[in-house]
């Protein structure tokens, strides 16, 4: 394949990385995002443009405040271009010394200024004092600088008070784009840990840069003492190197001089040991090799950062999945908390009434001589309209009590630092939650817990996702203080009996009657007993498998509540009814469908109310983050894999 095609494909893969990465930013905490975006910036502003175009390499003079950076820069560039003052922190922007032929070339200048990542137009410096104002980089034409090199005067990285560094951000940004650093330090700063830490990160942050060390010190210091100090710096900025002396391109000393301060002389810079003079070293750099080495190591570092970002994004998405699904399970539990009593007496009474209304006239009259005339009239006139049920105040009161209690428990759970949830591992919907939690626990992410509690159930502990912690805390606070009575009242109306259920009761009566054998038909009077069932029957909820509770009961199967697997409601039929085994079975079979229909009909709208008024607000951000980052994450994975495969083939 020819080189052009390879370059285009590589460029496309890099563009895909940039595009996908930017969409993943919301998954990272501030520090992580800064770190990740600096890699993306480098890719955008340096690696991609330099795949096709040539541009001078950047040699940046760096160091603490007032160490003499601008003095050294002016010396290399051959003029008094940059402002020099005794006041530390004077230089607040970048000044680039560029060969005049580059300055004339619009395309190269555009590319060069794009490397500064400011999207700035190239503007020449007019007065040295312009360096005092923060702002976009400026340039100065310097015939002394070779065409393939741009030398940069940069802001210091250590002036300011406490943790507030005045110019550090500006320094960091420009050093990240540079290829070679000239680090200037003094006797006061050579062993300053904060300074050497900064330089170490600048040199090896994203990709490795070459470095030249210049020690400004008294001319009276002997070379061996000066070298010892320089080695200390080398050891601090290359702590992992077996021989730090080999890491620098060159080591120099710059003598303190009042003549330099007065502007009467150039600084004297001497190599420590054998080697070219400093300006000779810089202007004679093998620029192709320097750029290639820098780009190669920057690409490798960017890819490593992308892998880290993918891992972190996956982890963050697990946190979001775990929280979203746990909240959904809690909503389901809240529904059950509201529906923990079944208006059995009311339904049974209506069932018996419908049953009687559907009896052949003779049987009906024989069994129920006291029936209301209106119903007989209805029957004979074939007007078999479903009987309307009036809501039972007693049941409504009970429901409100249960439901308020259930919502209070839900809110209290949501406001805890970590959600504590029991899920059915058999439930297909919670597979994602279980996998996410197992992964988070195995990666020792703080406060996550997942343990099997037997019988197909698992106990989960799910803290608020780190990304949304503060937003969620405020949101939950708001929900808690929000007026709940209005929608809780609506839930009560839903829970009470309705005309649809009456229709179901009528249908069930007709279905049952059609299936009855002659013997069963003869037991018409049996149904009168069901009206004796207690008005409110407590429901026992069982997940996963139906396990009959002690005594006689009707087990209704309830499906489609998130994360609860097979859900069964067991309602006891009191022994006091005195039913024999056959009749008990008959009652159970007949009523099962009715119970199921009742639960299924109430479950959905009550869940919807809980979601709309409580839980949707807690998971809204989780859901949207999961949606917007899913495709970018797989695109990033794909693009990184593509580049890795290329590297593999190239090796």
Ligand X SMILES: Nc1nc2c(ncn2[C@@H]2O[C@H](COP(=O)(O)OP(=O)(O)OP(=O)(O)O)[C@@H](O)[C@H]2O)c(=O)[nH]1
Identify the CA nearest to 408 among candidates 473, 332, 494, 484: 484
DSSP state string for 161-198: ETTEESSHHHHHHHHHH-SEEEEEEETTTTT-HHHHHH
Residue 8 binding partner per list Mg ion, ligand X, none, with a CB distance cut-off of 5 to 8 Å that depends on partner kind: none
Six-digit token string for 362: 């003779």
Instruction: Specify the pairing of strand 457-463 against strand 418-424.
Output: antiparallel
Q: What string marks each residue from 297 to 336 as x (binds ligand X by CB under 6 A) or -?
A: ----------------------------------------
Q: Is 260 in the site for ligand X (CB under 6 A)?
A: yes
Nearer to Mg ion, 131 or 302 (CB): 131
- Shortest distance in whole angstroms from residue 620 CB to Mg ion: 50
- What 3-state DSSP class applies to 601? helix
Residues 264-283 that bind ligand X (CB under 6 A): 267
Six-digit token string for 239: 């702590």
- Shortest distance in whole angstroms from residue 63 CB to ligand X: 6
Residue 189 binding partner per list ligand X, Mg ion, none, with a CB distance cut-off of 5 to 8 Å that depends on partner kind: none
- Shortest distance in whole angstroms from residue 95 CB to Mg ion: 9
Instruction: Pick the binder of ligand X from 62, 70, 344, 570 (CB under 6 A).
Output: 70
- Shortest distance in whole angstroms from residue 223 CB to ligand X: 17
Q: Is 65 in the site for ligand X (CB under 6 A)?
A: yes
Q: Is 374 in the site for ligand X (CB under 6 A)?
A: no
Q: Is 66 in the site for ligand X (CB under 6 A)?
A: yes
Q: What string marks each residue from 148 to 167 as x (binds ligand X by CB under 6 A) or -?
A: --------x-----------
Residues 340 and 571: their CA atoms lie apart, in Å, by: 10
Q: What string marks each residue from 71 to 100 as x (binds Mg ion by CB under 5 A) or -?
A: --------------------x---------
Instruction: Pick the binder of ligand X from 56, 68, 590, 632 (CB under 6 A).
Output: 68
The phi, psi pair for 550, rounded to 5°, reads -60, 140
Residue 397 neighbours by CB distance under 10 Å: 12
Residues 643 and 651: their CA atoms lie apart, in Å, by: 12
- End-to-end alpha-carbon separation of the chain, Å? 15
Q: Is 86 in the site for ligand X (CB under 6 A)?
A: yes
Nearer to Mg ion, 61 or 98 (CB): 61
- Shortest distance in whole angstroms from residue 184 CB to Mg ion: 10
Residues 144 and 354: their CA atoms lie apart, in Å, by: 105
- Shortest distance in whole angstroms from residue 116 CB to Mg ion: 17
Q: Is 390 in the site for ligand X (CB under 6 A)?
A: no
Q: Is 89 in the site for ligand X (CB under 6 A)?
A: yes
- What 3-state DSSP class applies to 435? helix
Nearer to ligand X, 233 or 306 (CB): 233
Q: With CB under 6 A as the contact rule, which of the stretches 61-69, 366-374, 507-515, 561-569 interacts with ligand X?
A: 61-69
Residue 256 binding partner per list ligand X, Mg ion, none, with a CB distance cut-off of 5 to 8 Å that depends on partner kind: ligand X
Q: Is 583 in the site for ligand X (CB under 6 A)?
A: no
Q: Is 62 in the site for Mg ion (CB under 5 A)?
A: no
Nearer to Mg ion, 68 or 565 (CB): 68
Instruction: Pick the binder of Mg ion from 21, 38, 44, 70 (CB under 5 A).
Output: 70
Instruction: Pick the binder of ligand X from 21, 44, 62, 91 (CB under 6 A).
Output: 91
Residues 536 and 346: their CA atoms lie apart, in Å, by: 8
Instruction: Pick the binder of ligand X from 8, 194, 219, 261 (CB under 6 A).
Output: 261
- Shortest distance in whole angstroms from residue 62 CB to ligand X: 9
Query: CB–CB of 392/342 below 8 Å?
Result: no
- Shortest distance in whole angstroms from residue 90 CB to ligand X: 3
Query: CB–CB of 593/569 below 8 Å?
Result: no
Residues 387 and 400: their CA atoms lie apart, in Å, by: 25
Nearer to ligand X, 261 or 631 (CB): 261
Nearer to ligand X, 153 or 349 (CB): 153
- Shortest distance in whole angstroms from residue 167 CB to ligand X: 8
Identify the CA nearest to 59 among candidates 284, 259, 228, 326: 284
Q: With CB under 6 A as the contact rule, which of the stretches 191-199, 226-234, 251-259, 623-631 interacts with ligand X?
A: 251-259
- What 3-state DSSP class applies to 450? strand
The phi, psi pair for 136, rounded to 5°, reads -75, 155
- Shortest distance in whole angstroms from residue 638 CB to ligand X: 45
- Shortest distance in whole angstroms from residue 70 CB to Mg ion: 3
* DSSP letter (8 states) at residue 585: H
Instruction: Specify the pairing of strand 250-255 against strand 269-271.
Output: antiparallel
Six-digit token string for 214: 């210049």
Report residue 7 CA to chain centroid gap: 33
Residues 287 and 19: their CA atoms lie apart, in Å, by: 31
Q: Is 195 in the site for Mg ion (CB under 5 A)?
A: no
Query: CB–CB of 544/566 below 8 Å?
Result: yes
Six-digit token string for 229: 């100090």
Q: What is the dihedral of CA 59, 63, 69, 75, to 10 degrees?
A: -40
Six-digit token string for 367: 């069994």
Six-digit token string for 573: 């039929």
Residue 425 binding partner per list Mg ion, ligand X, none, with a CB distance cut-off of 5 to 8 Å that depends on partner kind: none
Residues 177-236 that bind ligand X (CB under 6 A): 216
Angle at 73 between CA 72 and CA 75, to 5 degrees: 65
Identify the CA nearest to 610 among candidates 474, 428, 465, 406: 406
- What 3-state DSSP class applies to 496? coil
**Residues found near Mg ion in the complex (CB under 5 A):** 69-70, 91
**Residues found near ligand X in the complex (CB under 6 A):** 63, 65-71, 84-86, 88-91, 156, 216, 254, 256-258, 260-261, 267
């Amino acid at each position: 394949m020819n080189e052009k095609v390879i370059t285009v494909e590589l460029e496309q893969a890099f563009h895909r990385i940039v595009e996908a990465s930017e969409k993943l930013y919301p998954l990272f905490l501030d520090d992580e995002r800064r770190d990740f975006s600096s890699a993306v910036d480098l890719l955008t502003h340096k690696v991609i443009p330099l795949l096709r175009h040539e541009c001078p390499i950047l040699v940046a003079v760096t160091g603490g405040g007032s160490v003499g950076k601008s003095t050294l820069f002016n010396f290399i560039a051959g003029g008094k271009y940059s402002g020099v003052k005794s006041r530390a922190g004077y230089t607040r922007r970048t000044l680039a010394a560029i060969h005049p032929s580059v300055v004339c070339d619009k395309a190269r200048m555009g590319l060069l200024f794009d490397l500064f990542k400011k999207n700035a137009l190239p503007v020449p410096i007019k007065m040295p004092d312009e360096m005092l104002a923060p702002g976009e980089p400026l340039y100065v034409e310097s015939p002394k600088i070779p065409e393939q090199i741009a030398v940069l005067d940069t802001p210091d990285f250590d002036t300011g008070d406490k943790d507030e560094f005045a110019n550090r951000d500006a320094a960091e940004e420009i050093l990240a784009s540079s290829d070679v650093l000239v680090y200037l330090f003094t006797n006061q700063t050579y062993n300053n840990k904060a300074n050497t830490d900064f330089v170490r990160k600048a040199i090896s942050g994203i990709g490795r840069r070459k470095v030249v060390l210049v020690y400004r010190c008294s001319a009276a210091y002997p070379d061996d003492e000066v070298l010892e100090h320089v080695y200390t710096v080398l050891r601090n900025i290359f702590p992992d190197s077996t021989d730090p002396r080999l890491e620098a391109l060159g080591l120099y000393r710059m003598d303190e001089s009042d003549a330099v301060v007065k502007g009467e002389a150039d600084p004297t810079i001497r190599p420590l040991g054998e080697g070219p003079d400093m300006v000779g070293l810089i202007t004679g750099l093998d620029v192709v090799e320097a750029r290639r080495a820098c780009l190669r190591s920057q690409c490798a570092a960017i890819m490593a950062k992308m892998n880290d970002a993918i891992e972190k994004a996956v982890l963050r998405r697990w946190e979001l999945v775990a929280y979203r699904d746990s909240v959904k399970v809690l909503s389901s539990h809240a529904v059950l908390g509201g529906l923990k009593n079944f208006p059995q007496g009311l339904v049974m009474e209506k069932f018996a009434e419908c049953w009687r209304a559907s009896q052949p006239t003779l049987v009906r009259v024989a069994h129920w001589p006291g029936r209301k005339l209106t119903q007989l009239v209805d029957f004979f006139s074939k007007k078999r309209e479903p009987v309307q049920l009036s809501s039972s105040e007693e049941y409504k009161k009970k429901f409100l009590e249960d439901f308020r209690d259930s919502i209070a428990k839900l809110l209290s759970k949501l406001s805890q630092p970590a959600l504590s949830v029991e899920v059915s591992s058999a439930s297909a919907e919670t597979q994602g939650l279980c996998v996410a939690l197992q992964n988070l626990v195995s990666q020792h992410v703080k406060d996550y817990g997942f343990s099997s509690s037997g019988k197909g159930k698992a106990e989960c502990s799910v803290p608020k996702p780190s990304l949304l912690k503060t937003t969620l805390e405020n949101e939950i606070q708001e929900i808690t203080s929000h007026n709940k009575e209005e929608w809780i009242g609506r839930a009560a109306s839903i829970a009470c009996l309705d005309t649809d259920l009456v229709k179901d009761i009528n249908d069930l009566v007709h279905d049952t009657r059609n299936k009855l054998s002659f013997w069963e038909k003869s037991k018409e009077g049996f149904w009168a007993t069901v009206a004796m069932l207690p008005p409110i029957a407590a429901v026992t909820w069982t997940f996963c498998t139906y396990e009959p509770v002690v005594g006689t009961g009707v087990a209704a199967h309830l499906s489609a509540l998130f994360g609860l697997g097979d859900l069964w409601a067991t309602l006891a039929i009191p022994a006091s009814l005195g039913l024999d085994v056959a009749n008990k079975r008959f009652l159970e079979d007949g009523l099962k469908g009715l119970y199921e229909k009742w639960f299924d009909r109430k479950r959905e709208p009550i869940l919807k109310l809980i979601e709309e008024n409580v839980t949707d607000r807690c998971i809204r951000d989780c859901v949207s983050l999961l949606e917007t980052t899913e495709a970018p994450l797989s695109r990033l994975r794909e693009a990184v894999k593509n580049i890795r495969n290329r590297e593999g083939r190239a090796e």
